[in-house]
Homo-oligomer: A and B are copies of this chain.
Amino acid sequence: MNAQAVIISVGTELTNGMTVDTNSAVLSRRLAELGIVTVSHVTVGDDVDRIAAAITAAAADADVVIVTGGLGPTADDLTRQALAKAMDADLVLDEASLAEIQQFFQRLGRVMNQSNRVQAMRPEGTEALANPEGTAPGVFARLRKALVFLTPGVPPEMEAMLDRHLLPRLSALAGRGRLAFRAVRAFGAGESDIAAKLADLMRRDGNVLVGTTVGAGVVSVNVTAQAVHQDLADRIADETVNEICRRLGRWVYGTGDETLAGAVGGMLRRRHATLSVAESCTGGLLAQLVTDVSGASDYFVGGAICYSNRIKQDVVGVPAKVLQTHGAVSEQTAQAMARGARERFETTYALAITGIAGPAGGTETKPVGLVYTAIATPGQTRVQENYFHGDRTTIRMRSALTALNMLRQELTDTPDSQELAP
């Protein structure tokens, strides 16, 4: 049986919905690499009793309890006090932590606020965990049979503490049975179409679980394999991934953390091909996705955000007549933008997007969600007419991913012999 973890996030800004918790997802993934299964995430507000109750309940249920947030210098930061309450211990000053906090401010050339002094407190009988990225030290405690960690809620500080203090202390728990997680990413088909091809794999028995989730048109097929040894779990997971890829064929663009932009980038790099973009309604999102990938400068040259018609004409050379006759949101304009970007930026491929992301700007004949995506290649230009549903953010994301997928399909169809062509 694998060790089990509960992750507790603290902050009224989380329970009232002003902020989205991303720490729990990061922690779960990192714990999974050690074979520690996160069985639940719990979020509570800045209330000392609720935090203490969540810690007590989690320590009764799990082997590992990680609490993020509530270690700041202000009066609404109550996680230290809550752990002291759950442990029935007093808070004591940690002199080494206080010295570190003072040094942190010195390095920034600033004087420590008196309010930061509280950050050097910890419940008696616990251990302070140095914070290389900020002023809030973490805390390591034992409560019942559980290892309990308090970390800051600021993501980079939490992640630094995770690497430096948590993972080394948790590696002892990792031996009880190992898990392997994999994800297959697909684009271009609905979740039930994909599930229909995987029905037998998705039965919930045996030592491998297969499930599907969907976001912005990307369908993820998540695989969890369990075995006594890591290499066996890995082998079962990899074999399952291979079978899923075989069945889903061209819908699959990648595995694991791979994004559609990352997959396309890899294909461009292998073919020594280059890319430029011309974006209207996505306003830079397509380029941003492409350049989210470190090393994108190997194949991505740049692009134009042509929000106004003047820029569509001046920068990527859409003929004024095309804009007058067909409008900015039209097959013809999308085509001219792609062709123009390819010529102007001297790239192997260019992608273009023009459409109506809403909520305003729709008409009877050109409703919100109508988006043209185009690709210019050495041989031709192709346009696709799309009707997307959802809000502005969803429509923009679907548009950008659909354009990237057109390029992926184009690159998939390019014969291998062209891989080394300039």
Contacts A17-B27, A390-B156 given; indicate if A42 touches B41 (C-beta within 8 A).
Answer: yes
Q: A17-B29, A113-B196 are in contact. Are A41 and B38 (CB under 8 A)?
A: no
Q: Decide if A204 touches B277 in the complex (CB within 8 Å).
A: no
Main secondary structure of the interface of A (DSSP, over half): mixed
Q: How far is the CA of A349 from the CA of B46 in the complex (A)?
A: 43
Kindly specify which of A83-91, A168-176, A230-238, A295-303 makes contact with the partner chain. A295-303
Residues of chain B with a CB closer than 8 A to A286's CB: 284
**Do B302 and A315 have beta carbons less than 8 Å apart?**
yes
A320 within 8 A of B: no
A99 within 8 A of B: no
Expressed in whole angstroms, the Cα–Cα distance for A417 and B417 within the complex equals: 65
Given contacts A22-B20, A294-B359, contact A115 B195 (CB under 8 A): yes
Chain A 267-297 interface mask (CB, 8 Å, partner B; 1/0): 0000000000101001111111011101111
Of A8-16, A140-148, A374-382, A404-412, the one touching chain B:
A8-16
Q: How far is the CB of A294 from chain B (nearest CB, A)?
A: 6
Q: How many residues of A contact B (CB 8 A)?
A: 107
**A250 in the interface, Cβ–Cβ < 8 Å?**
no
Structural contact, A24 and B40, CB atoms closer than 8 A: no
Question: Do the beta carbons of A181 and B291 come within 8 Å of each other?
Answer: no
9 A-B pairs in the complex with CB atoms less than 8 angstroms apart: A11-B213, A16-B181, A16-B224, A39-B45, A41-B42, A74-B195, A75-B202, A284-B288, A302-B305
A residues engaging B (CB < 8 A)? 9, 11-22, 24-30, 32, 37-46, 50, 54, 72-76, 113, 115-116, 133, 135, 153-154, 156, 181, 183, 191-193, 195-196, 199, 202-204, 209-215, 220, 222, 224, 277, 279, 282-288, 290-292, 294-297, 300-308, 310-311, 315, 345-346, 357-360, 389-394
* For the complex of A and B, 9 pairs with smallest distance between CB atoms: A283-B291, A284-B287, A17-B28, A284-B284, A17-B29, A41-B43, A302-B311, A284-B288, A76-B211
